[in-house]
Amino acid sequence: MNIPAIIPAPGPAVMQSLQYADERPACGAWPGYNTRMTNLPPLGDLTPAEFFRDYWQKKPLLIRQAIAGFAPPLNPEALFALAAQEEVEARLICHFDQQWQMQDGPFAALPARSQSGWTLLVQGVNLHDRAADALLRRFRFVPDARLDDLMISFATDGGGVGPHFDSYDVFLLQAHGRRRWQIGSQQDLSLKPDMPLKILARFEPEQEFILEPGDMLYLPPHYAHDGIALGDCMTYSIGFRAPSYQELGQGFLEFMGDSIDLPGRYADPDLKPGKAPAEISKRMLTDIAAELRKVRFTDDDIAIFVGQYLTEPKHTTYFTAPQQTLTPPRFASTAGKKGLRLALKTQMLYRGPHVFINGMSFEVEPQDRPLLARLANDRSLPGELVGAARADVAEALYTWYQDGWLEITI
């Protein structure tokens, strides 16, 4: 049995040429960049290195007052307003009269707050709210390639999503009210049949905690848990992602499908008459196999695929272009004074000479890499660096601004 440890309250590119990824990569590494941690990781007395060594993907951890005096960025009304929007992913789970029901949003109306036993879950709140995004970014001691989203739940007394397990690591931060968590290290993860949501058939809790605002519970993947609201409560789930190899394999074959080059066509000038017209000849298969084995992929192909895959916006994500698009000279002078920041929905990563943004990849000259690395790491660029961008990078920044991928800092 894994007993969760309890941690007490803590102390406190300018582009010479922006090339698309199917062109040959340039050599060279990224020079240094500035990373500024605006907030300490909310890990109590643990350093990220200690947390990774002892807990991450290994065992649960309860941190009392991980964020002492936590002032949640969204109150219930703000969450309900988000759940009413078309582009926001929301679910309503009702556990009334021993029956589970689940509905997908948007929700123009919700059950009364006086009614016990319901939960509203809103996914990807960080994509819509800057303060929620800032909270998620406090967990950037885990790389962006693994960080997924901030989900917020609101539940009335007795509400919850039932005993279940998640496939990903999660930090469950209590934001408002109290929640009783029961957790268990069971191996039997079979689910109840014919349910609208995944509920464990046999939940065997081993530990129980009541979380108050600011307390946080970390759970590794596949750890059984059940959280029940004690009165109205809000829980913020900081979720991670880990694509399955099957998904990656399928995605990679699709990606390679766009770039493979196999010239020629099957030919059989020496064809002989046969006895079974429906049978595929061995020779035909041998010839085709020999050609298909010519498909090759490089480490660079993999890097480009992974970067594009990880930065691909979710299918529900739409970018909003600026209300009044500035002309390129006005953009240059305004952004040169105020600076730029990535839009909340923008995902930006890099590796070697490659920069990935919202599912696109670019190949960057060595002298331009620090600037774009700075934009990706800080998710913003001060005005003086925007002003120093070389022509191709300045052009790319302008295009990304027009597309709503980045915006002038307010």
Burial of 35: CB neighbours in 10 Å, binned 0-12, 13-18, 19+: exposed
Q: Which amino acid is at 297?
A: F
Q: Measured from the CB atom, is 227 or 353 closer to ligand SIN? A: 227
Q: Measured from the CB atom, is 166 or 403 closer to Co ion? A: 166
**Distance of closest approach, residue 316 Cβ to ligand SIN, in angstroms:** 20
- Which part of the chain contacts ligand SIN (CB under 6 A), choosing from 48-56, 97-105, 159-167, 377-385? 159-167
- Report how far residue 240's alpha carbon sits from residue 312's, in angstroms, rounded to the nearest whole number: 15
With binding defined as CB under 5 A, does residue 232 bind Co ion? no
**Distance of closest approach, residue 258 Cβ to ligand SIN, in angstroms:** 36
Question: Would you mind telling me the total number of residues written for the chain in this entry?
Answer: 410
Site string for ligand SIN, 189-228 (x = CB under 6 A): ------------------------------------x-x-
**Distance of closest approach, residue 117 Cβ to ligand SIN, in angstroms:** 12
Residue 235 contact among Co ion, ligand SIN, none, beta carbon within 5 to 8 Å by kind: ligand SIN
What residues between 261 and 300 interact with ligand SIN by CB under 6 A?
none
- Report how far residue 246's alpha carbon sits from residue 12's, in angstroms, rounded to the nearest whole number: 42
**Distance of closest approach, residue 172 Cβ to Co ion, in angstroms:** 7
What residues between 163 and 192 interact with Co ion by CB under 5 A?
166
What residues between 113 and 142 interact with ligand SIN by CB under 6 A?
119
Contact predicate 83/90, CB 8 Å:
yes
Q: Which residue is nearest to Co ion (CB)?
A: 166
Closest CA relative to residue 345, chosen from 28, 1, 87, 4: 87
Q: Which amino acid is at 54?
A: D
> Encoding tokens for residue 2?
């894994």
> Encoding tokens for residue 144?
């962006």
Contact predicate 73/135, CB 8 Å:
yes
With binding defined as CB under 6 A, does residue 161 bind ligand SIN? yes
**Phi, psi (degrees; rounded to nearest 5) at 132:** -65, -40
- Report how far residue 125's alpha carbon sits from residue 297's, in angstroms, rounded to the nearest whole number: 37
> Encoding tokens for residue 401?
């601004």
Q: What is the binding site for ligand SIN (CB under 6 A)? A: 119, 153, 155, 160-161, 166, 170, 172, 225, 227, 235, 237
Q: What is the binding site for Co ion (CB under 5 A)? A: 166
